[in-house]
Amino acid sequence: MNIHRSNRQHDSHRQTPRRLVALGAAAVFSASLLVGCQTGQGSAPTPTDPTSTTVTTTDPAPLPPGTRNASENALYQGMQTLWMQHMEWTYAAVAAFAVDSPGFPATADRLLQNQVDIADAVRPFYGDAAADQLTTLLQEHITGAVAVLSAAKAGDSDALNQAVTAEYANATAIGDFLADANPANWDKADMEAMMTMHIDQTLVYATNMLQGDYAQAIANYGVAEAHMLEMADMLSAGVIAQFPDQFTA
């Protein structure tokens, strides 16, 4: 099924602050990444609270493990695995890039494959065209992150500003795409906020890594990983609510 942008409108007070936060985060991260690469000093930026893993939403609450039937549990576990792989391979790619490891290309390829795997997981529900579109958006999310790191290491402030801003724009596009796929269960502002926080947290630990603060990078990665589990469960809850007849046993 093709997914088209919905016409649902949100109150301006719900969207404007989140977009301003994203723009502010882009500026802060650009400056911090550039300084970190040039000096190897300084602490990670905090445009939003990097210790927070929760975005308050109006979407269906995830089903607790003990209340799921077999098909529901399979979706939850599968979605969690895919998004944890997304986190793990992203961290591995950032770590490899930071030290110019010859393993970076293979790591990046595995990370890009994860984006295909995520889209394939929802292909049975939303169809080939939608899954292919999601693959493209998710892979742009990865290549955009590489562009951010490359510009930071090169000390190119203009390219870095553009890359970070583009990464946040891609996050918004992914959030909008998901909301349009399931407008009754995935609120557009909620999905944008979930993806924006993912970028915030990824850039926090990437900044730590490029600055050589590996212990802090690990700590902040743990925060980002917890947030991603929350997002995976939100996606599972939305799919089950949208297609209840496919999760009866």
What pLDDT, in 10s, does the model give residues 88-110?
999 999 999 989 999 999 999 99
Q: Is residue 190 part of a domain?
A: yes
Pick from 63, 86, 71, 64: nearest CA to 238: 63
Q: Is the pLDDT of residue 50 over 80?
A: no
Count of domains forming the chain: 1
Question: In the structure, what pLDDT confidence band is assigned to residue 48 with cuts at 50, 70 and 90?
Answer: very low
Pick from 170, 173, 167: nearest CA to 151: 167
Question: In the structure, what pLDDT confidence band is assigned to residue 152 with cuts at 50, 70 and 90?
Answer: confident
Q: Is residue 236 part of a domain?
A: yes
What pLDDT, in 10s, does the model give residues 178-209?
999 999 999 999 999 999 999 999 999 998 88
% of the chain residues with pLDDT over 90: 64
Q: Is the pLDDT of residue 120 over 90?
A: yes
Q: Is the pLDDT of residue 72 over 50?
A: yes
Which residue type sits at 135?
Answer: T
Q: Is residue 81 part of a domain?
A: yes
Dihedral over Cα of 233, 235, 241, 243: its sign: negative
Q: How far is CA 239 from the centre of its chain?
A: 18
| Better pLDDT: 213 or 31 | 213
Residues 34 and 160 sit within 8 Å (Cβ to Cβ): yes
Which residues does 239 contact at the CB level (< 8 Å), separation at least 6? 75, 122, 125, 182
Q: Which residues constitute the domain of residue 211?
A: 15-28+70-243
- Give me the pLDDT at residue 94, please: 94
Q: Is residue 59 part of a domain?
A: no
Q: Is residue 75 part of a domain?
A: yes
Q: Is residue 45 part of a domain?
A: no
pTM value surpassing 0.75? yes
- Give me the pLDDT at residue 16, please: 44
Q: Is residue 62 part of a domain?
A: no
- Residue 2 to residues 67, 123, 127, 147, 175, Cα–Cα distance (Å): 32, 11, 7, 30, 16
**CA 154/CA 34 separation, integer angstroms:** 9
Q: Is residue 63 part of a domain?
A: no
